[in-house]
């Protein structure tokens, strides 16, 4: 699903009006209906609903929602904040359309606010995508009161005060919504970790924006939906054999961290790879052979650390490396040799990232169009450098991927996948139960298996990250968040694949 900027959203509105030959009021009515429909499914008409409206079309939406909800027996109170001398035309019309039972109250100072407490249901319709400066003054005071009240806040389109697609200035006041119901497409701000407290749980409701316009609108940002990844799945052929599904090589594990190799290996096998060979330090031999009998195990001459590459690298279709590897000098030398000589695609994680990040010489050796990096934010910072904020981090990621012609999966709540062309896809599966040691090792195994099976690097990133999060979501239903461990993800990978293939 494409992510458009605030400016593009306005253009999409205009294109829709023109194409469908409707006026803006009708589009606002659609938006209000879509919101009200979501709201009715979420909240019953028992508690009064307090709707706070701003001067623009977001406020107009709030007024139209007030009318629609009152028709559904909700007890609605409307507050128009500010002097409202310059309301948008559609705001004005919807103010006039309020039924007589709703008398809007103008709020010119916080002293005029109604008492609010935590059982109240608040709809935030102060500002949406039209916000063009930080919220200060009366609006900021009102927002502070709403936030402080503890009432359950649902924001229309955007939590008021939050910029849609750029860094919100520090001095701004922002609504801390429990829910944000956005129109047609998610906003870039929803995917960034620092906005969790403002956006809350977000949902997107369709309002029928012109699909051709949305399709053609240039944007570097997308969110990944189940339909996007479903169509990537390659069915297995009846007369197939293991030789058709690739031979993966995993260079993982170190003394005291052999578990990382086990986690990556099991996940790789559960993701459909034809054959798997592990190269581990010799002290890991028995561990691997016992814990993962399906994998072949080669031992490094070094007892504790990976220090060399296996012979006949041509036997393999992909190399996955990093989990549990450590940062020993011998390992760095082996990675240097790998980058200099190996012609295979590579999935590079954990300490392998740290090793490469620490050496300009290794960075200069990175082969083009053959690497997926899977850093968490700290590893990302080591590899790419520190960024001023999370918007700049997206730009820095795009530049790095362009410069090195590589893919990055920047791991997090919404893992961001960046391509060498500078396109960024945000994943939509996964949960906080996955914030536990070893889940990244599982991802390395999944991605390595998919590349082995002939998925392009881009397909592997999109599909693998989605499946990994989906396995986490399926595990959540069985074990909950707190008790989840990395192996639970691997246990649920088969079900995750089945969810995508419907069998
Ligand atoms: N395609 C869509 O997404 C649609 C969006 N609609 C709604 O329209 C909204 C956008 O409406 P508008 O463009 O009128 O913008 P907003 O209603 O978000 O705000 C614009 C108004 O607020 C003022 N303003 C901006 N920043 C301010 C600040 N910091 N302090 C005080 N005043 C400030 C502006 O001068 C203007 O009067 C969307 O968020 C959505 O709710 C729907 O009505 C129709 C379809
Ligand atoms: N709050 C969260 N919501 C969704 N996914 C998460 C969350 N926290 C972590 N994850 C996922 O879990 C994995 C953690 O990887 P990583 O930090 O490398 O862990 P480790 O190195 O211990 O294996 C990543 O794929 C990340 O996207
Ligand atoms: K809002």
* Residue 452 counted as domain residue: yes
- What ipTM goes with this model? 0.90
Same domain for 150 and 292? no
CA 204 vs CA 3, 47, 413: distances in Å: 12, 24, 18
Our count of domains for the chain comes to 2
* Residue 1 counted as domain residue: no
Same domain for 165 and 107? yes
Nearest CA to ligand 1 atom 9: 58
Cβ of 265 closer than 6 Å to ligand 1, yes or no, is no
Q: What is the CATH number of the domain that holds 132?
A: 3.40.50.10260
* Per-residue pLDDT, 503: 59
Burial letters 344-373, b for 16+ CB under 10 A, else e: bbbbbbbbbbbbbbeeeebeebbbeebbbb
* Residue 183 counted as domain residue: yes
Same domain for 435 and 481? yes
Q: Rounded to the nearest 10 degrees, how much is the dihedral formed by the CA atoms of 296, 448, 328, 299?
A: 10
* Residue 423 counted as domain residue: yes
Same domain for 260 and 155? no
Residues with CB under 5 A from ligand 3 (ion): 58, 124, 155-156, 160
Same domain for 340 and 397? yes
Same domain for 215 and 233? no
Q: Is residue 414 marked as binding? A: yes
Apex CA 203: angle with CA 458 and CA 8, to 5°?
65
| Residue ranges, the chain, pLDDT below 70 | 503
Same domain for 437 and 357? yes
* Per-residue pLDDT, 40: 97
Cβ of 35 closer than 6 Å to ligand 1, yes or no, is no
CA 295 vs CA 262, 286, 342, 487: distances in Å: 10, 12, 22, 17
* Residue 310 counted as domain residue: yes
Given ligand 2 and candidates 321, 440, 468, 496, which is best to mutate, with the most ligand atoms within 8 Å of its CB?
440
169, 197, 219 - which closes a domain: 219
Cβ of 408 closer than 6 Å to ligand 1, yes or no, is no
Listed in sequence order, the DSSP H helices in 322-456 are 329-341, 350-357, 360-364, 377-384, 390-404, 439-452
Given ligand 2 and candidates 194, 195, 326, 434, which is best to mutate, with the most ligand atoms within 8 Å of its CB?
434
Same domain for 264 and 182? no
Cβ of 127 closer than 6 Å to ligand 1, yes or no, is yes
CA nearest neighbour of 143 among 107, 91, 189, 98 = 107
Burial letters 194-215, b for 16+ CB under 10 A, else e: ebeebbbebebbebebbeebbe
* Per-residue pLDDT, 160: 98
Q: Is residue 430 marked as binding? A: no
Cα 211 to ligand 1 centroid, rounded to whole Å: 22
291: containing domain: 228-501
Which ligand has its closest atom nearest to the C-alpha of 410?
Answer: 2
Cβ of 129 closer than 6 Å to ligand 1, yes or no, is yes
Same domain for 402 and 322? yes
Q: Are 160 and 58 in contact (CB under 8 A)?
A: yes
Q: Is residue 128 marked as binding? A: yes
Same domain for 344 and 212? no
Q: What is the CATH number of the domain that holds 418?
A: 3.40.1190.20
The predicted model scores a pTM of 0.95
CA nearest neighbour of 461 among 503, 501, 426 = 426
* Per-residue pLDDT, 57: 97
219, 249, 265 - which closes a domain: 219
User: Please, what sign has the CA dihedral across residues 323, 327, 333, 335?
Assistant: positive
Nearest CA to ligand 2 atom 15: 440
Which ligand has its closest atom nearest to the C-alpha of 10?
Answer: 1
Nearest CA to ligand 1 atom 13: 130
Q: Measured from the CA of 436, which atom of ligand 2 is nearest?
A: 22
Same domain for 331 and 388? yes
Nearest CA to ligand 2 atom 18: 440
Nearest CA to ligand 1 atom 39: 128
Same domain for 78 and 109? yes
Q: How many of the other CB atoms lie within 10 Å of CB of 43?
A: 17
* Residue 106 counted as domain residue: yes
Cα 436 to ligand 2 centroid, rounded to whole Å: 7
Q: Is residue 57 marked as binding? A: yes
Cβ of 53 closer than 6 Å to ligand 1, yes or no, is no
* Residue 75 counted as domain residue: yes
Nearest CA to ligand 1 atom 27: 131
Given ligand 2 and candidates 326, 376, 380, which is best to mutate, with the most ligand atoms within 8 Å of its CB?
376
Which residues form ligand 2's pocket by a CB distance below 6 Å? 350, 376, 411-413, 415, 430-432, 434-435, 437-441, 443, 468
Q: Measured from the CA of 12, which atom of ligand 1 is nearest?
A: 1
Q: Reduced to 3 states, what is the DSSP secondary structure of residue 50?
A: strand
Q: Measured from the CA of 137, which atom of ligand 1 is nearest?
A: 30
219, 240, 271 - which closes a domain: 219
Q: Is residue 129 marked as binding? A: yes
* Per-residue pLDDT, 281: 97
Cα 412 to ligand 2 centroid, rounded to whole Å: 6
Nearest CA to ligand 1 atom 29: 135
Nearest CA to ligand 1 atom 16: 130
Cβ of 135 closer than 6 Å to ligand 1, yes or no, is yes
């Amino acid at each position: 699903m494409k992510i458009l900027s605030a400016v593009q959203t306005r253009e999409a509105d205009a294109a829709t009006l023109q194409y469908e030959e409707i006026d803006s009021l009708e589009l606002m009515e659609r938006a209000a209906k879509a919101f009200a429909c979501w709201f009715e499914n979420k909240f019953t008409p028992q508690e009064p609903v307090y709707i706070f409206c701003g001067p623009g079309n977001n406020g107009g939406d709030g007024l139209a929602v007030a009318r629609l909800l009152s028709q559904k027996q909700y007890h609605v109170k409307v507050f128009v904040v500010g002097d409202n001398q310059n309301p948008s035309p559609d705001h004005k019309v919807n103010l006039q359309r309020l039924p007589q039972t709703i008398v809007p109250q103008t709020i010119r100072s916080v002293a005029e606010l109604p008492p609010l407490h935590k059982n109240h249901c608040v709809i935030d319709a102060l500002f949406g995508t039209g916000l063009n400066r930080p919220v200060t003054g009366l609006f900021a005071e009102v927002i502070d009161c709403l936030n402080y009240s503890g009432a359950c806040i649902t924001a229309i389109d955007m939590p008021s005060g939050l910029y849609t697609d750029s860094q919100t200035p520090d001095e701004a006041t922002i609504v801390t919504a429990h829910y944000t119901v956005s129109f047609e497409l998610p906003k870039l701000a929803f995917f960034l970790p620092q906005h969790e407290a403002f956006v809350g749980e977000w949902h997107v409701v369709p309002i029928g924006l012109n699909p051709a316009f949305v399709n053609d609108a240039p944007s570097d940002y997308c969110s990944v939906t189940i339909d996007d990844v479903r169509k990537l799945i390659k069915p297995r052929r009846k007369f197939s054999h293991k030789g058709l599904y690739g031979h993966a090589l995993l260079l993982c594990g170190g003394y005291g961290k052999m578990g990382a190799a086990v986690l990556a290996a099991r996940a790789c096998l559960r993701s459909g790879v034809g054959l798997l060979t592990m190269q581990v330090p010799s002290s890991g031999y028995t561990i691997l052979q016992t814990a993962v009998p399906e994998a072949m195990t080669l031992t490094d001459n070094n007892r504790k650390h990976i220090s060399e590459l296996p012979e006949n690298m041509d036997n393999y279709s992909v190399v996955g490396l990093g989990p549990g590897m450590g940062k020993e000098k011998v390992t760095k030398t082996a990675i240097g040799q790998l980058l200099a000589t190996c012609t295979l695609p590579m999935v590079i994680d954990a300490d392998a990232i740290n090793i490469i990040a620490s050496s300009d010489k290794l960075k200069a050796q990175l082969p083009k169009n053959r690497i997926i990096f899977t850093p968490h934010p700290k590893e990302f910072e080591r590899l790419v450098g520190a960024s001023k904020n999370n918007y700049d981090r997206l730009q820095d990621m795009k530049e790095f991927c362009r410069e090195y012609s590589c893919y990055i999966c920047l791991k997090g709540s919404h893992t961001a996948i960046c391509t060498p062309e500078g396109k960024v896809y945000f994943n939509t599966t996964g949960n906080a139960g996955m914030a536990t040691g070893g889940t990244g090792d599982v991802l390395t195994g999944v991605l390595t298996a998919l590349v082995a099976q002939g998925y392009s690097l881009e397909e592997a990133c999109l599909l693998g990250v989605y499946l990994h999060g989906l396995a986490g979501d399926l595990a959540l239903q069985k074990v909950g968040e707190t008790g989840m461990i990395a192996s639970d993800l691997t246990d649920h990978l088969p079900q995750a694949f089945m969810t995508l293939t419907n069998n």
